[in-house]
Amino acid sequence: MSQREYAFTDADFKRLRHLVSEHTGISLSEAKRDLVYGRLSKRLRAHGLNSFSAYTDYLTSNPDTEFEEFTNAITTNLTSFFRESHHFDYLRESVLPELKNRNQGNRRIRIWSAGCSTGEEPYSIAISLMESFPELDNWDVRILATDLDTNCLQHAAAGIYGLERVETMSKDRLRRWFRKGRGELADKVQVDNKLKELITFKQLNLMGEWPMRGPFDIIFCRNVVIYFDKPTQRVLFDRYAKLASDDAHLFLGHSESLFNVTEKFKLIAKTVYRRST
């Protein structure tokens, strides 16, 4: 094993795990130790600090300026367009037609992408809406996309992606919903403004206050709760239930489950749940 640039003691890791849990609800296992070291070493270099102890002291003394960078460094943001494609098939084939009939009176639909990362998920939701809902212009439809990581949100709001991010899309879909970049952006694409207009990107710590009122008809919370322990998950899904409309749909990640977490959502399809009334 190569010599590390900084010492990283059990006490250092314990303090950082506590801070992460206290402020974000994320539970870091021992398996994340190397990840924490690698990502936070950059913060030590940025501040000219020579130890993790000094960084933790700096972090607790300067929460207004450093906590955002700290959480941005710790969070993992693996995502892609139409990831877990069966969810978007189910959205188009089952959920949206039902909502169209059920909400015909107020013509209102609210969707929340909680943990939206760099934006591929909410844009995939928006594309699904636009493709399967031709009368969308006559409805009040909004997608709220939130994340803890402000760098990811900035990327998401810009809607600019490398060509490799969209290479698995059909040519028709790519042509319809993305614009080829020019000049310095020649190797990138930008999402169509019609998709952007459906989405509001906001920074949100799921463990903090939630300013939105809902109710939401659809909530995507995929590959988020794997970072939380069971008690935190129970609190989180109780909060989701309070903001969910009757019979709202909840989409989780492929490795996530609500078994022994809550009875307020019932499993109805592969990692798709429904609000229990």
CA distance 255 to 92: 22
Tokens for 186? 């020649």
Cross-strand pairs, 211: none
Q: Active site includes 182?
A: no
HSE at residue 201, side-chain half, CA atoms within 13 A, is 24
Active-site residue (options: 33, 39, 142, 274): 39
Active-site residue (options: 147, 217, 222, 275): 147
Confirm if 33 and 111 have CB atoms less than 8 A apart: no
HSE at residue 212, side-chain half, CA atoms within 13 A, is 25
Q: What region, left, alpha or beta, does residue 154 occupy, with left being phi > 0 and alpha being psi -120 to 50 degrees?
A: alpha
Q: Active site includes 147?
A: yes
CA distances from 245 to 108, 142, 214, 271 (A): 12, 15, 8, 19
Confirm if 274 and 266 have CB atoms less than 8 A apart: yes
CA distance 10 to 98: 52
**Helix, strand, coil in percent for the chain, rounding step 5:** 50, 20, 35
Catalytic residues: 39, 147
